[in-house]
Structure 1
């Protein structure tokens, strides 16, 4: 690396708009800007996630234990919701095997669907979900089905788990009263974000920026490979001056394709902890937690459902408006949390298995962005 390049990375040529708001480093001149100059549309949020599973009764039992409410149930479909007003946050359809189908994003206006359909050579159709509405069906560069929806039924709000009243230093809001959070499921408020793995990270990143108008909050890069570009991005929706979740979608380069985990907001740390004890008592597997993230700052706790999908309880995440520039940081397992237990091999997805070896070999032989140097860099990051 040249001295000029090293000086730039050291901070002498960082974008001043970054202002160290959320990361020690900003972009170096010429690096990915983290947003599109002229996106087709700007989605405003995730609407819901779609899955298939063979046993809806088992899926419903876990859903209730994890803290979802049941929005609708038929012989073939299970719709899950949070307590906030809005659409359901997950649909599980009966299928032969357990698999993730894809996400649905919410468009701001009905005309956005027409513009999106025209730009992508698709069509606007009636949505095949309870409550109706319209939808455009797309495929991202990884081959994942992505829907963009508008309209449809808005579910009314449900009773909340109230945050505990806390005493801080000389601020004593709670007097003559004890803290006894009940041992019960964390009450899900809403769907927060989705994390995906892809072998075509750069293409997928640009697609979500150019097509759906998302913008990057933080980039991660591999040690010694920053000049090759990032290998993970945390993307938020662009709602102008309105501050929104640090990430609604996160993606990282890897040998696999598709779902990594999804995250659901709950009230506070006590909701996360008491709900975690409830899940543990019922024999579910904690993947990683409890801790606090760096990128996004969320309090987190990760669990596996009976079909081995990873789901996260989170609270107290960062909110960014459109004027916050992307942060840049090296990718590492130890850099995933400010405090908490070390990231587990299960969470990192590095448990060895014949299926994992086959996945890596297929990726290295394919037409994608994962080459031996990238793979070795990822392995080093997940062990650092």
Structure 2
């Protein structure tokens, strides 16, 4: 059963919108204020991938895009939730659910898509066995960094199996990697992806971690390539922001990663070059050590 196409946005409350906007600008998003709320988009065709309202710092939830209006109606009916108009740029309709820990989870459809933003011109890479950039110099046109889209969200949950069943029953998510501690029976959590049939999707759209304490862990935003990620790293370092983890390449999902803590305590990640799976890719089990390990770069966690 498929139900969602992708993750669309994360929502927060922060005490200082101006400070948060400055961080998001430095992080590589295009920000704007709308009716007292802060919105930020990437270069892909979505009006926002992040939103914040003013108040005491808190994670307010996340949003997924339904594959069809029928999927939106089916998902809303599971919990008997009304479908309402969205009061945000792009309009559309949504059902606001609450997961087992009370986290608001929006399912949306019909948002009006803006035109994609122009990406900086990039030259091809020269590999040891494939020389693709001939007679040209490397140049970086446009912004120092450029977020494309929201790729995934990681949430700590009270009970992993309860939350896993809730998200899978409604959204048809597939497990890519299940992470265990000690023995395979001691499951900590799982990386889960959208089910788009033969179409390839990100290794994970949602990662649930059974920590026993529900809270926001981090949200990850895709950038165009390795150079863009490193330009972003340099910009954020010079801006004096708190670096959390990276730069490295994950064992699970293979993303090149770089984690930063924003001014109100929420961790955001830049990533590029992640694995792409489809329905036939199956699922795997991995020990906890692989979660914190990397192909290269520092071990640790965000």
TM over 0.5: yes
Distance 1:121 1:267, change over 3 A: same
Q: 2:278 and 2:288 mapped to 1: Cα distance?
A: 24
Q: 1:64 and 1:286 mapped to 2: Cα distance?
A: 16
Q: Match for residue 237 of structure 1?
A: 194
Is the 2:248–2:296 contact (alpha carbons within 8 Å) kept by the matching residues of 1? Answer: yes
**Where in structure 2 are the equivalents of 1:289-308 lying within 5 Å?**
289-308=246-265
**Where in structure 2 are the equivalents of 1:1-384 lying within 5 Å?**
39=1, 42-70=3-31, 72-74=32-34, 76-95=36-55, 97-181=56-140, 185-223=144-182, 225-228=183-186, 230-332=187-289, 335-343=292-300, 347=302
Is the 1:162–1:267 contact (alpha carbons within 8 Å) kept by the matching residues of 2? Answer: no
Decide which structure has the larger Cα Rg and report it: 1
Once the two structures are superposed, residues 87-139 of structure 1 have per-residue CA deviations (whole angstroms, 9 ceiling, x without a partner) of 410111112x1111000110011122222222212111112222221111111
Q: Which moved more, 1:286-295 or 1:110-119?
A: 110-119
Q: 1:312 and 1:157 mapped to 2: Cα distance?
A: 21
Name the SS of the counterpart of 2:84 in structure 1. Answer: strand
Shift of 1:86: 2.4
Q: 1:286 and 1:64 mapped to 2: Cα distance?
A: 16
> Could you tell me the TM-score, scaled by structure 2's length?
0.94
Which structure has greater helix proportion?
1
Is the 1:161–1:267 contact (alpha carbons within 8 Å) kept by the matching residues of 2? Answer: no
Q: 2:66 and 2:159 mapped to 1: Cα distance?
A: 25
> Could you tell me the TM-score, scaled by structure 1's length?
0.75
C-alpha RMSD over aligned residues: 1.8
Is the 1:88–1:155 contact (alpha carbons within 8 Å) kept by the matching residues of 2? Answer: no
Q: Which moved more, 1:128-137 or 1:186-195?
A: 128-137
Could you list the runs of 4 or more consecutive aligned residues of structure 1 that deviate by over 6 angstroms after TM superposition? none
Ranges in structure 1 where 5+ consecutive residues have no aligned partner: 1-38, 348-384
Distance 1:64 1:152, change over 3 A: same
Is the 2:47–2:89 contact (alpha carbons within 8 Å) kept by the matching residues of 1? Answer: no
Q: Which moved more, 1:307-316 or 1:333-342?
A: 333-342
Question: How many residues matched?
Answer: 302
Once the two structures are superposed, residues 302-343 of structure 1 have per-residue CA deviations (whole angstroms, 9 ceiling, x without a partner) of 011111111111011111111111111111267531110222
Shift of 1:217: 0.6
Q: 2:91 and 2:129 mapped to 1: Cα distance?
A: 52
Name the SS of the counterpart of 1:277 in structure 2. Answer: helix
Once the two structures are superposed, residues 176-213 of structure 1 have per-residue CA deviations (whole angstroms, 9 ceiling, x without a partner) of 44335479532001110000001111100111111111
Is the 2:153–2:219 contact (alpha carbons within 8 Å) kept by the matching residues of 1? Answer: yes
Which structure has greater strand proportion?
2
